[in-house]
Structure 1
């Protein structure tokens, strides 16, 4: 029973930063490939929506992991101060997102309300 009560060791900050850099490079590569894929589908007049959705889902997953790493690096105290890293529902917010990926709440309205309250 003691095996299940111990928390796994937290990864080192340098390992998290290395993973984040690799993820951002992968994200840029995938965005470039998505643009090329879309152009080829347009040229051939054969648009495959499921393929585009699959590639976009992969990009969102990459951004979600990068956001998780940012949250781990920032620590809980930094997240509470910033407020933009997590939604009111507690879900991590993706880079440049306008809506929460978990609850669908508009993040633009929340940012405006926070600015007015300051």
Structure 2
């Protein structure tokens, strides 16, 4: 998976005019990977992916973004309180937040 920051760097360097071979060697990627990134340039640039995201998923919704935002707030609150949390606890919390958001959206649709 290629980080968003790297994809943006590839666009910038490609627009500056280096040969494709230089991009392959600079990023350690094959021709197909670089070509796909450049081909999907507009879609990638238009995305509002979260920092650190590496994959654009067509099924990603505003609920995913809101869940991530709320999860990060929860994690920060736990860190400030000095609590520790395992990956399984974080995963469970993410699932709970997501389910609550889906339910809230469903309730709004019923009104």
TM over 0.5: no
The TM-score with structure 1 as length reference comes to 0.27
Identify the structure with bigger relative contact order (alpha carbons < 8 Å, sequence gap 6+). 2
**TM-score (norm. length: structure 2):** 0.29
